[in-house]
Structure 1
Amino acid sequence: MLHLLTVTCLISSQRFLDARMFATCSDDCSVSLWDLRNLRQSICQLKGHTNWVKNIEYSRKSGLLLTSGFDGRVLTWDINKYMEDGCSHERVFHTHGLMRTRLTPDGSKMVMSTAMGYLIVIHDLDLSTMSEDLKFFNAANYMRWYHIEQMNPEQDTDSLYFRLPKNRVEIVTDFVPTENYWYITSLQVHPQGWCSLSRYTSPDDDSEWTCVHDLQDYPKPKPFKHGQKMPPHQTRPRLTHFIEEANVGRGFIKELCFSDDGRLVCSPFGFGVRLLAFDPKCSELCDCHPDTPVQLYEVKTEMTHADTVLTTKFSPIHCMLVSGCLSGKIFFYQPAL
């Protein structure tokens, strides 16, 4: 029997929590919980955002639902304690220009993209203490401290956030080309959590790129005694791969994706899709990690739509790919590489 879900607003994202329950978020600032056994109405609506809600993640480690939106807020919900009128939430993070939020599969990291031209990565994630640990964090202040450290290594900038044993903040700024200011509109995480995949555009929509950033941990900072001066923050480039996109359909967000094994990337490319790999052998990233950033390898391009492709997704089970375009048409592919 086919169950149909009817909604009156635009659904931005959805996430299954188990075999029968899933959550959706929408542009009416709400999040809804659903049960597959009865889709006539939602179990409950979760109210807490003040702008479009664009992301839903579920942390199995903590049992918390995590949502974020264009209000800059990242909220957690204890859905095991929901009532008919909703459930309580906690604001664990806030930043201006927040676009997308993703958790790594093991729940150890949170990755956020912004309209400010950088990624925010939270290492050793602990949602239970994140709100307290990062209550004074401000991305703009951190960027100011970072530039001071680069210009004057002797300057004590009190980079508090890299001392924390949990919820350590890293801001990733290396993109191609380096001189531009980017809107990072689409974000995905590798199935093994090894890297992030992002799509970004210039403010004038004149250029559009896809890139891959390494998410592997650096050695943890050594603990500091009270009053001891912290040395300058040592950075390492995160960018591993990049490629320029067709830049068709300006102003629309294009969602790209990883294959289930993480060896392929599918990217909207004009009126079709483009399959990309880390190298010509379609190797896993761990087997072909470059010392300097290199261009993604173009495996195959399929032009099948009559309008701009906006979204793509690999099947988690079958060798199948689906794409959707601006006019609403959907195509299924069984790629033969």
Structure 2
Amino acid sequence: MRVGVRVPPCDRADRIVETVRRAEQLGFDEVWFPDSQLLWRDVFTTLTAAALGTGQIGLGTAVTNLATRHPAVVASAARSVAELAPGRFTLGLGVGNSSVGPIGLRQTTSAAMREGIAMLRALLAGEEWEFEGKVCSRLRDPQPAIPLHLAASGPKNLRLAGEIADGVILLSGVSPATLAQAAARVREGAAGREEQPPLTVSAFCAVTDDVEAEARRIKPVCASIAQNGGAPFLALAGIDVQVPDKIDGVYPDLVHAEDWKAAVDVCSAWISDEAALRFAREFCLFGTADEIAERLRALHTAGVTGVFLQHVGSYDPPTELIEAVGTTVLPRLKANDR
């Protein structure tokens, strides 16, 4: 199983590259960069620097979108990065989330995503595309081998991802019950395909002996999932929480709060310490190096082909997480492989 880490483009690209190089040195397989134009530096600028500054680690977007970026623009940007990192780049796509909300746009619908991915594939393959029924154009110097992965959480998009994507990024966390349900929807969508698309799972991670202390810090993440239609997923794992549709006092949103401590305090009104602890144990990879390594092996046994780890916070690189996982968890996984 491939183990990656999420690195937000929260600083100058040349500084972020140092973080990526360290992940490569410690044996991570992939680095995934989120895309949100008001929160971070441009993702494709950062990817370009990372491509030039590394030699073997996989690079990907987790995720960019087809709402703030036209599919033709995404095709050109993806082609440009792939040229610099042959065989190492994966284009991860999603509905928009923190890119669209702050500028008043709506998330991409399933129908628009289907058409957008069809356009991307055609352009990356060098084929002509008829835009708005008026003009036929094509991408010069295409790159048809770029894998297109689709991030999904709801049943409709999970089925869509299984049907049309080269890989699926699951936003359901690592809870066995929710992961099994999400994977089942992907399999439904992929029923007519010769091979099932690979599954990559995102998970917040902390190497710690004190899970209770760390768990309190992820209350905003748990609250955000409940707020955005994920309450049934939480309930499957025995976490019953009710969160209002709108929560004041947190900017720009719960998961990307600029003042994380304040967000934790606000969310404590709906997420108890007990619920946060259960969320950390069920949905996240919190625990000792041995415990995390064992859970990663279990994920692989369950059919997961990749995981990318996230740290709490959006405006600093995951330096501590990379060091902790790279020096304690990855060696245990490699020792087991031998």
Q: Which has the higher contact order (CA 8 A, sep 6+)?
A: 2
- Same fold flag (TM > 0.5): no
Could you tell me the TM-score, scaled by structure 1's length? 0.29
In our comparison, the structure showing a higher alpha carbon Rg is: 1
